[in-house]
Structure 1
C-alpha cells in the first residue's frame, strides 16, 4: 500500500467524512462506532460518548487542515465553524448545529 499524498482533495474528503460522522451522531443514526461497541447501545451515556468521539475526530481533522493551510471553514456554515473554533461540544452545539442551513443540507447524512 503506497503513501497517500496530502492533497487538498484528500484533506477535503477526510474533513467531509468526519463532519458526516459527527452529524450522524447528532441525528442519532448508525455509525461505525455502533459496530465496534454494540453493547454500549444499552447505556444512556453511550450517545454522549459516541458524539464526543465523533467531535474529537472532527477537531483532529480540522487541526490537520489548519496545519496544512487548508481552508476548512468553507465546509461549514458560519455558526458551525464558530462551534468548531470554540472546540467545546455542548448541548448548544448539538441543539443548534443545523441552524441557518438550507433545508436540504442534512440530505447527505441519510
Structure 2
C-alpha cells in the first residue's frame, strides 16, 4: 500500500468525519442538496445522520481492509463507537466529549 493511497484514505476519512459532525450539528451537508424535498420531513435529520454514519463506517472498513490506521483522527470513545458500528442515541449524545465532570 503506497503512501499516496493511505493519504487519500485519510483525507476521505476526515471528510466523512466532518460530514457526520455537520449532520450531528444540523448543519448543511450534500444530503440537503440531494434531497431538498425531505427537509420538510420530520425524520429528515435522522436520515441525514444515518447516511453520514454509514459513509464513515464504509471508509473505516476500507481502512481496516487496507491496513491503514484510522483511529488517530478520533477520540478513544469515538473510535469505540465506530468499532461498535451501531449509531445509538448515546453516540449522538456523547460524540463530543466534554470535561465538565471535573468542574466543581
TM over 0.5: yes
Q: Could you say which residue in structure 2 is the equivalent of 1:27?
A: 25
Deviations along 1:49-84, one digit per CA (max 9) or x if unpaired, are 110000000000000000010110001000000000
Q: Runs of at least 4 residues of structure 1 off by over 4 A?
A: none
TM-score of the two chains, using structure 2 as the length reference:
0.89
Unaligned runs of 5+ in 2: 100-104
Aligned residues: 97
Deviation of the 1:44 alpha carbon: 1.1
Q: Could you say which residue in structure 2 is the equivalent of 1:74?
A: 72
Unaligned runs of 5+ in 1: 102-110
Q: Could you say which residue in structure 2 is the equivalent of 1:105?
A: none
Matched, 1:37 2:35: yes
TM-score of the two chains, using structure 1 as the length reference:
0.84
Deviation of the 1:7 alpha carbon: 1.4
For the 8 Å contact 1:77–1:100, the answer to whether it is kept is no
Larger Cα Rg: Structure 1 or Structure 2?
2
Root-mean-square deviation (CA, aligned residues, Å) is 1.4
